[in-house]
Amino acid sequence: MGGATARERKGSVGALAVLTIAGVLLGAALSLQAYREAQHPLPPVSSDILYFRGGAAVSRAALGFDALLADVYWIRAIQHFGGTKRASGGEKRYELLYPLLDLTTTLDPHFSVAYRFGAIFLSEPYPGGPGRTDLAIALLERGIAADPKRWQYAQDAGFVHYWWRQDYKSAAEWFDRASRIEGAPWWLRSMAATTLAEGGDRQSSRRLWQQLLDTTDDIWVRDNARLRLAQLKALDDLDALASLVGRYAQARGAPPRSWNELVAARWLAGIPADPSGSPYELRPDAPGGVALSDRSPLLPLPPQLTKQTGPTT
Amino acid sequence: MGRVIGLVAYHVFKESVRDKVLYNLVLFAVLMIGASYLIGQLTAGQDVKIIKDLGLAASSVFGLFIAVFIGVGLVWKEVDRRSVYNLLVKPLRRHEFIFGKFLGLALTLFVNIAVMAAALYAVLALMNWMNPGLGRAAIEAPVLDPQLLKAFALLYVQLLVVTSVALFFSTFSGPMLSAAFTFGLYIVGHFNADLAHFESVVKSAAAAWLGKALYYALPNLAPFDVKAAVVHGQPVSAAYVGLTAGYGLLYAGAMVALAILVFSRRDFK
C-alpha cells in the first residue's frame, strides 16, 4: 500500500517534471520566435489580397460550401470598406470592393444584404466610399436578375439615382418599376410620382427616407435611412443658425465670435448641436458662417441639398 | 438475424464512443458559441444567416470526416487486428457483419447530426433571446426555422451514401487508399451533373454515352445540398426531400450490397 503510494507520488512528480520541461521548451521557442521576428520582421500582409477572381469557378469548387464562402467574402467586403474608410492619410483605394461584392453574390445569389448594403457602400462618395453609383446600380440589377420578386432592389436603385445622381427621372422610373413587382407596397407608386414632380427638395427627400425607415426590417438599411434623415435635419439646422447669426450681426454690428455670446444674449438656449450630438461651429469661411464639426459623423452632407429649396423646419 | 446485426451495430457505436468520436460535438458547440459572439461584432444584421450557414457547413464537415475516417476502418481494422477470424467462426454471417457495421456507423452519425442540429437551434434561440430585434431583421426566414431540419435530414442521408462508399472500399483496401477513393468520389459527386450533359462538350457519341453512364453510376451528391435554400427561406418541398432521400438510401443500399459481395468472396483461411 505504502509502496503503491510512493510509486504514485513518483509518477506524479515525473508527470510534473515532463510538464515543466514542456512549458520551458515552449516558452523558449516562443521567446526565440519573438527574437527572430525582431531581427527579421515578418513581411506585411496585404489587406488587398482577393484570393480568387472568378466567382463562378469558386462557386463550383466550393463543394456545397458556397454560402459559407459567401459569408467570408461578405465579411471581407465589410472589412475592406470600413478599413479603407477609416484609414488615415494617403489616397483611399476601394478597388477591391466591387470584386468582393461580386464574389459574394456569385457564391450566394440570394444574399440580399450584400446587394442592398453593397450598393450603399459603392455609392458613398469619395473619400467615404468609392462613389461608383454605376457599379451600385449594376450590383442591384444582378440582384433583380437573381430574385426578380425583390422589389427592394429596384427601390434601392431608385434611391441611388435620387440621392447620389440627382437623376430624378431615372429614380422615378425605378420606383415605378419597383411598384409593379408583386408584393410591393402601395406608396412606391406615389413615391415615383412625387419624385418626378418635386425633384430633390428636402421635404420630398425627408418623406422618402422616412418611408424607407418605417418600412424596412433590415438593420443596416434602417441605420442608413436614419443617417440621411439626420443629415437633412442638420441642413435645416444650419440654415436656421445661419439666419440667426446674420440677424445677430445686423443687430450688433459684428458676427458672434462664439455661441456663448448668443446664449448670453438669450438668442439661444444653449450650445447648438447636430442630431449626432456634435456641436455646430461658427466659421467665418463657411456658407452662412456656420458649419458642422469636422468630427461629426454626419459628414459629408449631400451637396445637392445644401441650398434650401423647401420650407425650413 | 436482426438481433445479430443489432449487436454488431451496437458494438460499432460503442467503439466510436470509446474512441472519443463524440468529442467533436464539444468542438462544434465551442465553434458555434464562439462564432455567434464574434460574428455579432463583425456583421450587424446578418448574424442569423451566417450562424445558420456556419452550423450547417460545420455539421457537414464533421459528419463527412466521421463517415470517411471511421467508415474506411470499419472492416479493415477487424482484418488488420485479425479479430475478423474470431468473429466469423461465431454464428455471424458475413452479410450480417457488414450490414451491422454500416448500421452502427449510421447510428453514430445520427446521434452526431441530431446533437449538432439541437446545438444550432440552441445557439439561435440564445441569440434570439439576447437580441429580440433579430427576429425582425431575419426577414427571409424565421430565426428558429423548422425548415433547417430538412437540410439536416438530407445531410444525414448524404453521409449515409458516403459511409456506404467508404465501407465498400474498406472491404478490399487499406484505410489510406479507401479514404482517398471516398474523398475522390465525394468531390466527383458534387460535379457529376456535368457528366449528364457531356454530349454538349464532346462530339464523340461513345464519350457522351460513357459520360451518361458515369453520371448514373457515380453518387450524385449535389442535390442533397439544400443549405442555401433553407437559410434564405426558399421553399424546399417535401416531395423533393423525399425523392432525394429515397435516391440516397437506395444508392447506399446498393453500395452496402456490393460491400457484402466483395467481403463474402474474400478468403480469410
Q: Does A74 touch chain B (CB under 8 A)?
A: yes
**Locus of grid cell 462544434:** B28
Query: How far apart (Å, rounded) are the C-alpha atoms in residues A150 and A172?
Result: 17
**The predicted structure's pLDDT at residue B157:** 96
CB A76 within 8 A of CB A100: yes
**Beta carbons within 8 Å of A219's beta carbon, 6+ residues apart:** B44, B45, B133, B137
Residues A239-255 have a mean pLDDT of: 90
Query: How far apart (Å, rounded) are the C-alpha atoms in residues B85 and A62?
Result: 43
Query: How far apart (Å, rounded) are the C-alpha atoms in residues A94 and B21?
Result: 46
Instruction: Tell me the one-letter amino acid at B193.
Output: A
**The predicted structure's pLDDT at residue B137:** 59
Is B231–A113 a contact, with Cβ atoms under 8 angstroms apart?
no
b/e map A120-140, b = 16+ CB within 10 Å = bbbbbeeebbbbbbebbbbbb
B-chain residues near A78 (CB < 8 A): 42-43
**Locus of grid cell 479493415:** B76
**The predicted structure's pLDDT at residue A191:** 79
Cell output for A20: 515543466
CB A123 within 8 A of CB A160: yes
**SS3 labels along A118-139:** HHHHHHCCCCCCCCCHHHHHHH
Query: How far apart (Å, rounded) are the C-alpha atoms in residues A67 and B51?
Result: 11
**CA angle centred on A64, ends B119 and B107, rounded to 5°:** 45
pLDDT band at A106; cut points 50, 70, 90? very high
Q: Does B137 touch chain A (CB under 8 A)?
A: yes
Is B42–A78 a contact, with Cβ atoms under 8 angstroms apart?
yes
Q: Does A147 touch chain B (CB under 8 A)?
A: no
**The predicted structure's pLDDT at residue A134:** 94
**The predicted structure's pLDDT at residue A295:** 87
**The predicted structure's pLDDT at residue A313:** 30
**What helix, strand, coil percent values describe chain A, rounded to 5?**
65, 0, 35
**Beta carbons within 8 Å of A268's beta carbon, 6+ residues apart:** A244, A259, A262
Dihedral over Cα of B211, B215, B221, B226: its sign: positive
**The predicted structure's pLDDT at residue A265:** 87
b/e map B230-241, b = 16+ CB within 10 Å = bbbeeebeeeeb
Q: What ipTM was reported for this prediction?
A: 0.76
Q: Does A71 touch chain B (CB under 8 A)?
A: yes
Helices A202-215/A219-252 angle, 10° precision: 150
Residues A269-296 have a mean pLDDT of: 89
Where are the alpha helices (H) located in A180-218, listed in sequence order? 187-198, 202-215
**CA angle centred on A60, ends B39 and B141, rounded to 5°:** 45
DSSP B81: T
Is A155's pLDDT higher than 70? yes
Cell output for A131: 462613389
Instruction: Tell me the one-letter amino acid at B185.
Output: L
Is B234–A74 a contact, with Cβ atoms under 8 angstroms apart?
no
**The predicted structure's pLDDT at residue A224:** 81
Query: How far apart (Å, rounded) are the C-alpha atoms in residues B99 and B104?
Result: 9
Could you count the other beta carbons within 10 Å of the beta carbon of residue A249?
A: 13
Give me the residue from B54, B139, B222 closest to A218, CB to CB.
Answer: B139
Chain A, window 220-239: residues with a beta carbon less than 8 angstroms from a chain B beta carbon:
220
CATH number of A55-200: 1.25.40.10
What residue segments make up the domains of chain A, in order of their start? 55-200, 201-313
Is B42–A75 a contact, with Cβ atoms under 8 angstroms apart?
yes
Query: How far apart (Å, rounded) are the C-alpha atoms in residues B134 and A224?
Result: 18
CB A262 within 8 A of CB A256: yes
Residue B132, preceding peptide bond in cis (omega within 30° of 0): no
CB A207 within 8 A of CB A242: no
Is A41's pLDDT higher than 90? no
Task: Report the half-sphere exposure of A54 (CA within 13 A, side-chain side).
Answer: 6
Cell output for B43: 456583421
Q: Does B190 touch chain A (CB under 8 A)?
A: yes
Between A191 and A243, whose confidence is greater? A243
- Mean pLDDT (chain A) is 83
B-chain residues near A65 (CB < 8 A): 57, 60
Query: How far apart (Å, rounded) are the C-alpha atoms in residues A181 and A208?
Result: 19
CB A123 within 8 A of CB A227: no
**The predicted structure's pLDDT at residue A310:** 38
Q: Does A2 touch chain B (CB under 8 A)?
A: no
Between B22 and A234, whose confidence is greater? A234
The number of C-beta contacts closer than 8 angstroms across A and B is 59
Is A76's pLDDT higher than 60? yes
- Threshold 0.80, pTM exceeds: no
Write phi, then psi, for A281 (nearest 5 degrees).
Answer: -120, 145
Per residue of chain B (269 residues), what is the pLDDT tens digit? 678 889 889 988 998 888 887 787 778 878 887 887 777 666 656 778 888 998 999 999 999 999 999 999 888 888 887 887 777 777 778 889 999 999 999 999 999 999 999 999 998 888 888 877 666 655 678 888 899 999 999 999 999 999 999 999 999 988 999 999 999 999 989 887 777 777 777 778 888 888 888 888 889 998 899 998 999 888 899 999 999 999 999 999 999 999 999 988 887 66
Residue A256, preceding peptide bond in cis (omega within 30° of 0): no
Is A78–B43 a contact, with Cβ atoms under 8 angstroms apart?
yes
Cell output for B36: 455567434
Candidates A58, A60, A71, A76: best to mutate against B (most CBs of B within 10 A) is: A71
Instruction: Tell me the one-letter amino acid at A29.
Output: A
Helices A219-252/A112-123 angle, 10° precision: 30
b/e map A49-72, b = 16+ CB within 10 Å = eeeeeebeebbeebbbbbbbbbbb
Maximum CA pair distance of chain A?
104
A-chain residues near B139 (CB < 8 A): 112, 217-218
What residue segments make up the domains of chain B, in order of their start? 2-264
Residues A137-166 have a mean pLDDT of: 92
**The predicted structure's pLDDT at residue A309:** 39
**The predicted structure's pLDDT at residue A311:** 36
Distance (Å) from the alpha carbon of A57 to chain B's nearest alpha carbon = 12
Give residue A119's Cα distance to chain centre: 10
